[in-house]
């Protein structure tokens, strides 16, 4: 069995390929560790994680959840109240129609009153009050 | 029975180091770099093919390891976890670089990538290794991203199938399939250049 395996040209080719691939390496660059260490000591590495941790921690706190629920209830209540007040109140159109009708009525009333007091005083209808009838 | 599985934590070295890393001990991170820094650098330089960008990726990986260590549950070996972080960062960087024109074919791919030759006992003395390795490096460049990663993790870094699969973030079966196809393609390319058959 072993002899056959040893003579197998494909297995031999595989072994040679693996040996070649393993024969290429790189050394670790100590400067990389120095740079990383400097950044970590300056707080670069941990800051975003800490911020995220803090946010997640705050979001999962019962007080925060209760506060969020309260805000939701208040905003829902306000929304419902606003909606119901809009539904109950007269529309703009109806307000405008009502105002116009009352204005016309009052104008008509005042017009009737003026006509009844002015007609006997002017005497002649269709003549301009200040027309002298000519100078010649 | 007691022998640890390929991708499992090593109780002698991994467990105490992870405990210290979880406490965000900087000295422990330095020790991790001393233990696995060469593998991290080899992987990053082989994948990115640029020593400066590769070193930046390794530096970023160290910061991520420091941040993520408290959440590391030890489902894989420390080495494969660390190499997974490096591979992920390299993948991100390669994706960002996709629309670049790319570099012209390197005259000496090993030197430009910051990789060095480490001759093994089984090397064939009749072969021109310098030429052959340059050829091999160019052949690796022509593999798909997944195949390249599988070949590098398993063959260049010598990880077990389990460790390589964990580092690549795939199942062992998927890794084996990628590795098989990658090796086939490499052999074909090298055969085409008449080098591996010598």
d(CA B193, CA A114): 117
Are B87 and B43 a contacting pair, CB within 8 Å?
Answer: yes
H helical segments located in A23-88: 30-41, 47-59, 62-88
The reply to whether residue A32 touches residue B33, judged by beta carbons under 8 angstroms, is yes
Chain A residue with Cα closest to B36: A28
The count of CB pairs under 8 A between chains A and B is 118
pTM of the model: 0.65
Q: What whole-number distance in Å separates Cα of residue B42 and Cα of residue A22?
A: 11
> Which residues, listed in sequence order, are joined to residue A25 by a DSSP beta bridge?
B116
User: What's residue B113's pLDDT?
Assistant: 86
At B157 the pLDDT is 94
Residues on chain B touching A16 (C-beta within 8 angstroms): 122, 124, 196
- Cross-chain residue pair A33–B37, CB shorter than 8 Å: yes
Q: Which one has a higher pLDDT value, B42 or A69? A: B42
Contact (CB<8Å) A27/B133: no
User: d(Cα B126, Cα B132) in Å, to the nearest integer?
Assistant: 11
Low-confidence ranges of chain B (pLDDT < 70): 1-8, 98-107, 122-127, 193-198
From chain B, pick out residues whose CB is under 8 angstroms from the CB of A18. Answer: 155
C-alpha to C-alpha distance for B116 and B179, rounded to whole angstroms: 23
**According to the model, what pLDDT value does residue A13 have?**
81
- H/E segment holding residue A25: strand A24-25
Question: CB contact, 8 Å: A42 with chain B?
Answer: no
**Structure tokens given for A34:** 């120095």
User: What is the model's pLDDT at position A113?
Assistant: 60
Q: Which residues of A touch B38 (CB under 8 A)?
A: 25-28
pLDDT digits (tens, 9 = 90+) for A71-96: 999 999 999 999 888 777 666 566 66
Structure confidence at residue A15 as a pLDDT band (50, 70, 90) = confident
Q: What is the pLDDT of residue A102?
A: 76
Which residues in chain B are contacts of A26 at CB distance < 8 A?
Answer: 38, 41-42, 45-46, 114-116
Q: Which pLDDT tens digit goes with each residue over B87-141?
A: 999 999 998 876 554 455 556 888 888 888 887 776 666 667 778 888 899 999 9
- In the numeric block, which tokens belong to residue B57? 């990726």
Contact B85, B168 (CB under 8 A): no
A94-133 confidence digits (pLDDT tens): 666 666 677 778 777 776 665 555 544 444 444 444 444 4
Inter-CA distances, B128 with A18, A20, B122, B133, Å? 16, 12, 14, 9
Binding-face residues of B in 73-132 toward A, CB within 8 A:
110, 114-120, 122-124, 129, 132
Q: Mapping DSSP to helix (H, G, I), strand (E, B) and coil, where does residue A67 land?
A: helix
DSSP symbol at B69: G
Please tell me the predicted confidence (pLDDT) of residue A17: 87
**For position A76, what pLDDT does the model report?**
92
pLDDT of A14: 83
pLDDT at position B96, please?
84
* Per-residue tokens: B56: 């930046």
Count of C-beta atoms within a 10 Å radius of residue B160: 18
What is the DSSP code (8-state) at residue B117?
Answer: E
B 16-75 near A (Cβ less than 8 A): 24, 26, 29-30, 33-34, 37-38, 40-42, 45-46, 55, 58-59, 62-63, 66-67
């Amino acid at each position: 069995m072993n002899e056959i395996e040893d003579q197998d040209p494909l297995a031999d080719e595989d072994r040679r390929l693996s040996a070649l691939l393993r024969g290429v390496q790189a050394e670790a660059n100590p400067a990389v560790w120095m740079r990383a260490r400097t950044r970590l000591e300056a707080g670069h590495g941990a800051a975003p994680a800490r911020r995220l941790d803090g946010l997640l921690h705050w979001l999962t706190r019962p007080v925060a959840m209760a506060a969020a629920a309260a805000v939701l209830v208040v905003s829902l209540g306000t929304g419902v109240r606003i909606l119901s007040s809009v539904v109950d109140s007269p529309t703009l159109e109806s307000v405008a129609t009502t105002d116009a009708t009352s204005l016309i009525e009052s104008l008509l009333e005042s017009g009737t009153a003026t006509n009844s007091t002015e007609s006997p005083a002017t005497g002649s209808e269709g003549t301009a009050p200040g027309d002298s009838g000519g100078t010649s | 029975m007691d022998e640890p599985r390929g991708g499992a934590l090593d109780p002698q070295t991994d467990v105490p180091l992870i405990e210290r890393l979880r406490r965000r001990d900087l000295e422990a991170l330095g020790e991790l770099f001393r233990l696995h820094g060469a593998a991290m650098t080899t992987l990053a330089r082989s994948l990115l093919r640029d020593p400066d960008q590769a070193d930046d990726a390794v530096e970023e990986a160290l910061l991520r390891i420091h941040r993520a260590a408290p959440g590391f549950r030890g489902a894989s070996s420390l080495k494969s976890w660390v190499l997974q972080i490096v591979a992920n960062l390299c993948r991100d960087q390669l994706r960002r670089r996709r629309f670049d024109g790319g570099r012209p074919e390197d005259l000496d791919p090993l030197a430009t990538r910051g990789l060095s030759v480490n001759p093994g006992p089984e090397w064939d003395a009749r072969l021109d290794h310098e030429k052959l390795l340059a050829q091999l490096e160019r052949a690796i460049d022509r593999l798909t991203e997944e195949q390249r990663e599988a070949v590098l993790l398993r063959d260049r870094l010598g990880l077990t199938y389990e460790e390589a699969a964990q580092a690549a973030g795939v199942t062992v079966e998927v890794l084996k399939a990628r590795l098989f196809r990658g090796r086939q393609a490499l052999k074909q390319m090298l055969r085409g250049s008449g080098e591996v058959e010598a």
